[in-house]
Amino acid sequence: MSWTKSISTLFFMGISTLLGAQIGTDSELYKTLQSKDSILFDAAFNRCDPDTLESIFTEDFEFYHDKGGLTDSRDAFLQPLRDNCAERDPSAPQYSKRILIKGSLEVYPMYKNGELYGAIQHGVHRFEFLNDKNEYQKGDIAKFTHVWVLQDGRWKVKRELSYDHHLQTE
C-alpha cells in the first residue's frame, strides 16, 4: 500500500470514528436522556410509579435481562410493578434503590438520512437492598443499554438490555 493510500485510509477511519462517537456530556441530547434516565429509575425504584414508566416506554417495549429473561411488551413489564406498588406501604422505605455509576453514562445518536430518530444510551449502575435491620446493603452491579426513539416528538425507550449482573465486591 502506498504512503498516500495509508494516510487516506487512516484519515477516513478517524473521521468515521469521530462521526460514530458518543456525544459530549454537555450536549442537549445527552442532558435530555440523562434526565429521562433519572425519571425512569426514580419512577421504578423510588416512587413506585408505573404510570410514568408507561409514558416513557413504547407500546412494543422489550426488556432483555441476563437473569430474568425476555419481557416482550410494555404491559407485561409493568403489570408486576403495578401489583407490587399496589401492595406497598407508602410509608415504608423503598426496598431497593438504583445508583448510576458516576461517569459511566454514554449516549450515541442515531440518524437516518441526516435526521435524528433515536439514540443508544449505555451505562453502569448498582443496586442496594434493605436488609432485615432496614439498612441498605450492596446488591448487584450491572450494565444497561437503552434504545431510545423519538416518537411524536417525545423520547421513549423501545428496547432495554440489563446484563453483566454480579455482586459488588467493593
The count of residues in the chain is: 170
Predicted confidence (pLDDT) per residue in 130-157, tens digit: 998 989 999 999 999 999 999 999 999 9
In a domain, 14, yes or no: no
| Cα-based distances in Å from 19 to 5, 14, 101, 114, 142 | 21, 9, 26, 12, 28
In a domain, 3, yes or no: no
Q: Which position has the grid cell 468515521?
A: 16
Q: Which domain holds residue 137?
A: 22-167
Grouping H, G, I as helix, E, B as strand and the rest as coil, residue 136 is strand
In a domain, 16, yes or no: no
In a domain, 163, yes or no: yes
In a domain, 138, yes or no: yes
Question: Whole-angstrom Cα distance, residue 114 to residue 141?
Answer: 36
Question: Whole-angstrom Cα distance, residue 147 to residue 143?
Answer: 14
Provide the pLDDT for residue 14. 41
Question: Whole-angstrom Cα distance, residue 49 to residue 12?
Answer: 47
Provide the pLDDT for residue 20. 56
In a domain, 156, yes or no: yes
Regions of the chain with pLDDT less than 50: 3-19
Provide the pLDDT for residue 92. 79
Count of structural domains, the chain: 1
Shortest CA distance to 94 belongs to which of 139, 155, 56? 139
In a domain, 8, yes or no: no
Provide the pLDDT for residue 78. 97
CATH code assigned at 85: 3.10.450.50
Provide the pLDDT for residue 5. 47
In a domain, 106, yes or no: yes
